Amino acid sequence: MPGGVSSPVRAFRAVGGVPPVIASARGAELRDADGRVYIDLVGSFGPLILGHAHPTVVEAVARTARDGLTFGATCALEVELAERVLQRFPFAERVRFVSSGTEAVMSAVRLARGATGRSRIVKFEGCYHGHSDGLLVKAGSGLATFGTPTSAGVPPAIAELTHVLPLDDDQAVEALFARHGPEIAAVLIEPMPANAGLLLQRPEFLRRLRELTRRHGSLLILDEVISGFRVARGGMTEVLGIEPDLVTLGKILGGGMPAAAYLGRAELMERLAPNGPVYQAGTLSGNPVAMAAGIATLDLLETPGTYERLEELGARLQRGLERGLARAKVAGSVPRMGSVLWLVLQSGPAPRAWHQVDPAGAERYAPLFGELLRRGVWLAPSAFEVAFLSLAHTEALVDRVAAACEEALSAPHGVPAH
């Protein structure tokens, strides 16, 4: 396994040290192969809003598995999950299930191109939308600069079709539309950008994207792979009260199993094969075991008070981390939305765009990460990943994390004050 991992974000390259191998997990805790237990603030990078191995989800998976692992035909559970998804995203009339967020976004972009007959797409610097060729692109700062590939192996001819703009910059979007409006198939954004830290956007900026795309006949794709079901039942789409053309979902949708989806109005979605000319398929799409985990998860999230609870826990951890930074006299801030937090190790206001993020934060983060790991707190091995809380976290666990963080920040090898 290159780098010892199946996905590069799991490696410890950026923070140093040897990554523990995980043996099992329950609730808010991970246990490694040597029996060490960690309070988990990664939650498998987003899906585990109920915590690890929730008994109801595990039971649904086991029960479903006994009736067959995959059919290669539509199953009743797909229909049930489709109904739940469409109920939570009322702008949409059709949903197509796939197995990963990458597939969902890649397919939504293909559909947008197929529907508009246009080729160019717009994404924002710092937003991650999976690893399909056209989306692994990060541009320089120029507003109409053509994308340059950030991964080897992406042909320039593909990268050129992806415009990358800074977040939080209305003018850059307006200027790009003024120049290329009639050629833009879609604007794609994480409405809660959480893949380069947490770059919370002004709602007016997101509304502006809606206006501009509508005016120019382009589609607006909200990538809610992280925010869907996380910040509210209906994700950021509900929070913002705007009507996108397509939404992509993943992570929580599969409750820890591989499931993702894209959804939209019938008029658009019916352009997909077998009804329309835009092709997209998958051997394991709508897999019954994944559907069962998703259904059980979404149903549990309907428990009254769920999102209030996540907000409460998030606010508590935010306060604890801010207190830790202040007491250790370390410059930083803790932007947060509900149960998603980012520990920013730089002075000044929390950044809203990638160019405002100080790369030196990574050097400050590495020793902190090590100190916290030693104290049994599992954070992502990157300064630019967010932390996720779950309903399995308790006040006591959150307070332990905050106390460990304060200690780690004050430790001799901790983060230098600046």
- Other beta carbons within 10 Å of 270: 13
Nearer to ligand PMP, 106 or 173 (CB): 106
* Helix (H) or strand (E) segment spanning residue 409: helix 395-410
DSSP strand E in 217-320: where? Answer: 219-223, 246-249, 260-264
* Helix (H) or strand (E) segment spanning residue 377: strand 377-378
Stretch that binds ligand PMP, among 88-96, 153-161, 218-226, 338-346 (CB under 6 A): 218-226
Helices then strands (H, E): number in the chain? 12, 16
Give the pair of three-digit tokens for residue 152.
């080897």
Q: 72 to 101, contacts with ligand PMP by CB under 6 A?
A: 100-101
Give catalytic status of residue 262 as yes or no.
no
128, 138, 168, 262: the active-site residue: 128
Stretch that binds ligand PMP, among 61-69, 220-228, 275-283, 366-374 (CB under 6 A): 220-228
Bond into 277 cis (ω within 30):
no
- The least CB distance from residue 13 to ligand PMP, in Å, is 18
250 binds ligand PMP (CB under 6 A): yes
Nearer to ligand PMP, 168 or 406 (CB): 168
Give catalytic status of residue 170 as yes or no.
no
- The least CB distance from residue 319 to ligand PMP, in Å, is 26
Instruction: Kindly tell me which residue out of 27, 39, 43, 45 binds ligand PMP, with binding defined by CB under 6 A.
Output: 45
Closest alpha carbon to 198 in 170, 227, 172, 176: 227
Nearer to ligand PMP, 189 or 392 (CB): 189
Size (the chain), residues: 418
- The least CB distance from residue 367 to ligand PMP, in Å, is 26
Give catalytic status of residue 128 as yes or no.
yes
Instruction: Kindly tell me which residue out of 226, 242, 341, 366 binds ligand PMP, with binding defined by CB under 6 A.
Output: 226
| Edge-first strand listing for the sheet containing 336-337 | 336-337, 340-341, 387-388
246 binds ligand PMP (CB under 6 A): no
Give the pair of three-digit tokens for residue 252.
């929580």
Site string for ligand PMP, 121-150 (x = CB under 6 A): -------xxx--------------------
- The least CB distance from residue 195 to ligand PMP, in Å, is 5
Say how many residues touch ligand PMP, by CB under 6 A: 15
Closest alpha carbon to 163 in 172, 152, 151: 172
Nearer to ligand PMP, 7 or 303 (CB): 7
168 binds ligand PMP (CB under 6 A): no
190 binds ligand PMP (CB under 6 A): yes
Instruction: Kindly tell me which residue out of 75, 206, 225, 321 binds ligand PMP, with binding defined by CB under 6 A.
Output: 225
Closest alpha carbon to 192 in 136, 251, 127, 252: 127
- The least CB distance from residue 2 to ligand PMP, in Å, is 17
CB 355 within 8 Å of CB 125: yes
40, 123, 168, 223: the active-site residue: 223
Residue type, 411: A
**Chain mean position to CA 405:** 24
Helices within 53-100 (DSSP H only): 55-66, 76-88
- Other beta carbons within 10 Å of 76: 9
Instruction: Kindly tell me which residue out of 30, 82, 85, 105 binds ligand PMP, with binding defined by CB under 6 A.
Output: 105
Q: How many CA atoms lie within 13 A of 396 on its CB side?
A: 3
Residue type, 225: V
223 binds ligand PMP (CB under 6 A): yes
Spatial distance between the Cα atoms of 404 and 338, rounded to a whole number of angstroms: 21
354 binds ligand PMP (CB under 6 A): no
List of residues contacting ligand PMP (CB under 6 A): 45, 100-102, 105, 128-130, 190, 195, 223, 225-226, 250, 260
What residues act catalytically? Answer: 128, 223, 251
